[in-house]
Chain A
Amino acid sequence: MELVIALSIGILFGSGIWLLLRPRTFQVIMGLMLMSYAVNLFIFVMGRLRVDSPPLTLGSGPPDPAAFADPLPQALVLTALVIGFATTALFLVVMIGSRGLTGTDHVDGEEPPR
């Protein structure tokens, strides 16, 4: 399981970086989104990979820490998700504005000379 997770994070992040360096704004935003998926997965995994252990339960008797997953990274992921979502939306608006004002979707605001 570790290998699968590690590989998928790596592939997501790598593709994200590649797209981020592309010249079209749409590719840039896709790249940023892929990178943020990878990062969110990464934060989640930092709470250690565990199967069948909920972050919180309401059982009777004294809780046993060994039975629970670490809830903190999950909370961090939630926060990071929300913030990432908002900033991506903002970037999208700027992108559209740039397209409208400059008439091109190139990141430099002008088509490169051919």
Chain B
Amino acid sequence: MSMDWTQHLIVLPVLLPLLCAALLIPVDERRHRLKFSINMASVAALLAIAIALIIRADGADGPQVYLVANWAAPFGITLLVDRLSAMMLLLTGILAGAALIYAAQRWSRIGVHFHSLFQFLLMGINGAFLTHDLFNLFVFFEVMLAASYGLVLHGYNAGRIRAGLEFIAVNLAASLVFLIGLALIYGASGTLNLSDLAQRVAHLGEIDLVLLKAGMAALAIAFLVKGAMWPLGFWLPTTYAAASPPVAAMLVLTTKMGVYAVLRVWTLVFSEAAGEASGFGYELLLYGGMVTIAFGAAGMLATDTAGRMAGYAAIISSGTLLAAIGYGNAQLVTAALYYLVASTIAVGTFMLLIELIERIRSPGAAVLALTVEAFAIEETPEEPIGVGIPAALAFLGLAFTGCALIITGLPPLAGFIGKFSLIHSLLGSGEAESIAGVAWVLIALLVFSGFAAIIALLRFGVRTFWAMGRVMPPRLQLTEAAPVGALLLIALVLTVSAGPAFEYLGRASEELHQTGRYVEAVLSAPTVPSPAYGREAM
């Protein structure tokens, strides 16, 4: 049986950024355009691959499996594409493209190796979305984190160093907890392949099951530090506010990575097929998520810096997702996935927008003054050359309104549809009289957090756009305005085509909850016969 070449598409989202990053390292720092072109070409290719994978995953019957190095599961590393991971790849590609174009004129030039680190970050994120092996997940998490450490520090100044120190220390400690979890899981079950684990968990002895649960709990701590569940997410607002805008936009994605990992591992390992262990930890996710929403909302009200506000918006969105996952209902997961896409795009756009808005307050290159002390560049970057866009103030106002509408969940944009369907699924999950009390609390929190976000963003908007007195319209470059506009346009498309999007996400959520199909697909994936011996495929 010869393998269809399109099968290899599955490994490309990992290989391509790796190769591009390696290629970019020796290129001279002064050749901005060349570096940017290589990076952009890679991101564009990743976008195309993500779309191809979505089509492939949606058209195929069940998850697609790729055996790396041709070792049969569960012995080798398995990559797996289903509708959910394909969608996350696309989201990564979209956000990466926008952040990269935004960074082209200015931010990529204030330090060294921005483009290589960016590609390594993409490799880590993509790999973590694709892998089906827990230890491999750890490795990709580390790749992603190592790149994000570098990127947070990019444009080295005192604020970034301080935030970076905290960010790195917290995440290093979390990685150690991740390893403890892995070791316990392996010690208890003898496997690290997710499908194999899902299959074995029902047959574990009593003591092994306790060990496995302890290991999974340790794993969850590591995921939730990234996913910023209260009280593990305290590092997030400071780091987001300190990082440069394109990097902060990418960090939004790494936060969603933690949530994705929880969703992936928990739906697979603690599904209904898991016997005694079924449903382990869901309650904690639900309540933890709800506390996180409250924490994020309170933080949003308490802060007046836009960067921290965006960080708290990301925390609210994480909390909402975790609570929805913890509720343990396939229909709710569909709505949560839609909310995930919408809120990621909105918060990412907001991250990019903040710096442009700040220019109203402090015209000129105040931002650059902070980064002149950068230690590794020969010259200060020249004033960006490019096409300025007219009506900058109107653009900024409109873009801000768009972001705010999605983040708060007001009609008519995608945020409203996401929140509405979350509430609808919560209400519609049972008979009218049997809706659990906790669902009501969650609905109240969803509405309350939206309300808090409205107050905070309105205050910020009024202070910036109305109460500033006479403002000089800031100079915006086309490469800075275009990605913001494009992201908002995508959000608009997501709103208009909510029907097809929900159908796709519904299939994704349904697929996610059919654990048996993953086990079957992974463990029966055929290896390619060796050409030297011409043996039959196993």
A contact residues vs B (CB 8 Å cutoff): 20, 25, 28, 32, 35-36, 39-40, 42-43, 45-48, 72-73, 76, 79-80, 83-84, 86-88, 90-91, 94-95, 97-98, 101-102, 107-109
| A32: chain B residues within 8 A (beta carbon) | 169, 172-173, 176
Interchain CB contact under 8 A, B183 and A43: yes
Q: Is residue B235 within 8 Å, beta carbon to beta carbon, of the partner chain?
A: no
Are A43's CB and B162's CB within 8 A?
no
Q: Which of B145, B153, B158 has the most CB of A within 10 A?
A: B158
14 A-B pairs in the complex with CB atoms less than 8 angstroms apart: A20-B173, A25-B165, A32-B169, A32-B176, A39-B176, A43-B182, A76-B182, A76-B186, A80-B179, A87-B145, A87-B172, A101-B161, A102-B158, A102-B162
Residue of A25, A40, A97 most packed against chain B (CB within 10 A): A97
Q: How far is the CA of A83 from the CA of B153 in the complex (A)?
A: 19
Complex CA gap A86/B175 in Å reads: 13
Instruction: Name the CB-closest residue of B to A76.
Output: B135
Q: Does B180 lie within 8 Å of A98, measured CB to CB? A: no
Q: Does B483 contact A (CB under 8 A)?
A: no
Are the C-beta atoms of A39 and B180 separated by less than 8 Å?
yes
Chain A residues positioned under 8 Å from B184 (CB to CB):
46
Residues of B within 8 A of A90 (CB): 146, 149-150, 168
In B121-164, the 8 Å CB interface with A consists of 135, 138-139, 142, 145-146, 149-150, 153, 156-158, 161-162, 164
Residues of chain A with a CB closer than 8 A to B183's CB: 39, 42-43, 45-46, 73, 76
Q: Does B412 contact A (CB under 8 A)?
A: no
Smallest beta-carbon distance A49→chain B, Å? 11
| CB-based contact B186/A73 at 8 Å | yes
Minimum Cβ distance to chain B for residue A41 (Å): 10
- Judged by DSSP, the binding face of A is helix
Number of interface residues of B (CB under 8 A): 32
B residues lining the A interface (CB < 8 Å): 135, 138-139, 142, 145-146, 149-150, 153, 156-158, 161-162, 164-166, 168-169, 172-173, 175-176, 179-180, 182-184, 186-187, 373, 375
> Which residue of chain A has the shortest Cβ distance to B135 in the bound complex?
A76
10 more contacts with CB within 8 A, not counting A36-B176, A94-B165, A102-B158, are: A32-B176, A35-B176, A43-B182, A73-B186, A87-B142, A90-B149, A94-B161, A101-B373, A102-B162, A109-B158
Closest to A41 in B: B183
| Also in contact, A107 and B139, with CB within 8 A (given A39-B180, A72-B186, A94-B153) | no
Which B residues touch A42, using CB under 8 A? 179-180, 183
A46, A97, A98, A108: the one within 8 Å of B186 (CB): A46
**Which A-B residue pairs are the 5 nearest by beta carbons?**
A46-B187, A43-B183, A46-B183, A109-B162, A98-B161
> Which listed residue (B149, B150, B165, B173) contacts A95, Cβ 8 A?
B165
B150: nearest chain-A partner, CB-CB: A90
Chain B residues with CB below 8 A from A88, complex form? 172
Shortest CB-to-CB span from A50 to chain B, Å, is: 14
Taking a contact as CB atoms closer than 8 A, the residue among B149, B158, B179 that contacts A43 in the complex is B179
Q: In the assembled complex, which residues on chain A have CB atoms less than 8 Å from the CB atom of B149? A: 87, 90, 94
A44 to chain B, nearest CB (A): 8
Give the distance in Å from the alpha carbon of A23 to the alpha carbon of B321 in the complex. 35
Determine whether the beta carbon of B161 is less than 8 Å from that of A97: yes
Report if A28-B156 is in contact (Cβ < 8 Å); known contacts: A46-B183, A72-B186, A76-B182.
no
Question: Given known contacts A28-B169, A72-B186, A90-B146, is B180 in contact with A102 (CB within 8 Å)?
Answer: no
CB-defined contacts of B180 to chain A, threshold 8 Å? 39, 42
| Closest chain B residue to A101, Cβ basis | B158
Quick check: B168 and A94 within 8 Å, CB to CB? Answer: yes
CB neighbours (8 Å) of A39 from chain B are 176, 179-180, 183
A76-B135, A101-B161 are known contacts. Are A91 and B172 too (CB-CB below 8 A)? yes
Across the two chains, which residue of chain B brings its CB closest to A33? Answer: B172
